[in-house]
C-alpha cells in the first residue's frame, strides 16, 4: 500500500491559508472555521502577497505565541477575578500581533506522485504530522498525519 498509493490519493486540496500580513487573530479565526468541517486540521498555510508559499502556523505555534502574554497578565492570577472574562480579554490583547515570528518555514514538501512511503519517512524524519504538496513550484495541497494513518488503518482492516 505505501509504495503503490500516491500522495494525490490522500492529499487535501481544501486547506486553511492566510496572507503573511495577517494577525494572529485572523489565523485563529481561519483555523477555527476549518475545524468546524475538518477537526483534524491543525495548521494554517501562510502565503506572501504574490501567492508564494512562506510556511505554516500550527496550533502549537499559536499556543506558544499566546502563552507568555497570557501568563504574564496579572489579572488572571487574582483569586477574586472573573477568570473567564479576564482570559477572554487577555486573549484579545495577546492575539493582536503579527505572525512573522511564528511561521514555521522549514516545512516538508512532497510531490503529488510521491509514494505514501515517502510521506511516512518525511513525517518520521521531521517529527511533524504535515507536508505541503507542490507541483510546478505551486502549493496544490496538504497531507496530514491523520490522512496517512487513515490509509494504514484501512489496510490493517483488510489483513
**pLDDT band for position 84 (cuts 50, 70, 90):** confident
Please compute the mean of the pLDDT values over residues 9-21 and round it to a whole number.
Answer: 96
Tell me: pLDDT of 74 over 70: no
Query: For domain 7-157, is the CATH number 3.40.50.300?
Result: no
Please compute the mean of the pLDDT values over residues 8-31 and round it to a whole number.
Answer: 96
Strand duo 43-47 + 17-19: pairing: parallel
Please compute the mean of the pLDDT values over residues 41-53 and round it to a whole number.
Answer: 96
Tell me: pLDDT of 93 over 90: no
CA distance 7 to 9: 5
CA distance 69 to 124: 32
Tell me: pLDDT of 12 over 80: yes
Tell me: pLDDT of 3 over 70: no
Tell me: pLDDT of 2 over 70: no
**pLDDT band for position 65 (cuts 50, 70, 90):** confident
Instruction: Enumerate the domain spans of the chain.
Output: 7-157
* pLDDT tens digits along 101-140: 899 999 999 999 999 999 999 999 988 899 999 999 999 9
For the chain, the first-to-last Cα distance in angstroms comes to 12
Give the CA distances from residue 88 to residues 21, 52, 105, 107, in Å, rounded to whole numbers and listed in that order.
Answer: 24, 34, 30, 32
Across all residues in the chain, what is the average pLDDT?
A: 88
Q: What SS3 state is found at 140?
A: strand
Give the CA distances from residue 4 to residues 1, 48, 78, 151, in Å, rounded to whole numbers and listed in that order.
Answer: 5, 35, 58, 12
Please compute the mean of the pLDDT values over residues 48-63 and round it to a whole number.
Answer: 95
Please compute the mean of the pLDDT values over residues 29-38 and round it to a whole number.
Answer: 96
Amino acid at each position: 500500500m505505501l509504495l503503490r498509493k500516491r500522495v494525490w490519493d490522500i492529499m487535501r486540496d481544501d486547506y486553511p491559508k492566510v496572507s503573511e500580513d495577517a494577525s494572529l487573530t485572523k489565523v485563529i479565526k481561519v483555523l477555527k472555521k476549518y475545524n468546524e468541517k475538518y477537526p483534524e486540521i491543525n495548521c494554517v498555510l501562510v502565503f506572501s502577497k504574490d501567492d508564494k508559499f512562506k510556511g505554516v502556523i500550527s496550533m502549537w505555534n499559536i499556543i506558544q505565541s499566546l502563552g507568555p502574554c497570557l501568563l504574564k497578565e496579572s489579572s488572571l492570577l487574582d483569586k477574586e477575578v472573573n477568570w473567564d472574562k479576564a482570559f477572554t480579554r487577555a486573549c484579545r490583547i495577546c492575539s493582536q500581533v503579527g505572525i512573522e515570528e511564528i511561521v514555521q518555514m522549514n516545512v516538508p514538501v512532497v510531490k503529488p506522485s510521491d509514494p505514501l512511503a515517502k510521506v511516512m519517512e518525511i513525517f518520521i524524519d521531521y517529527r511533524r504530522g504535515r507536508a505541503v504538496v507542490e507541483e510546478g513550484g505551486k502549493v496544490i495541497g496538504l497531507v496530514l498525519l491523520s490522512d496517512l494513518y487513515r490509509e494504514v488503518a484501512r489496510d490493517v482492516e483488510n489483513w
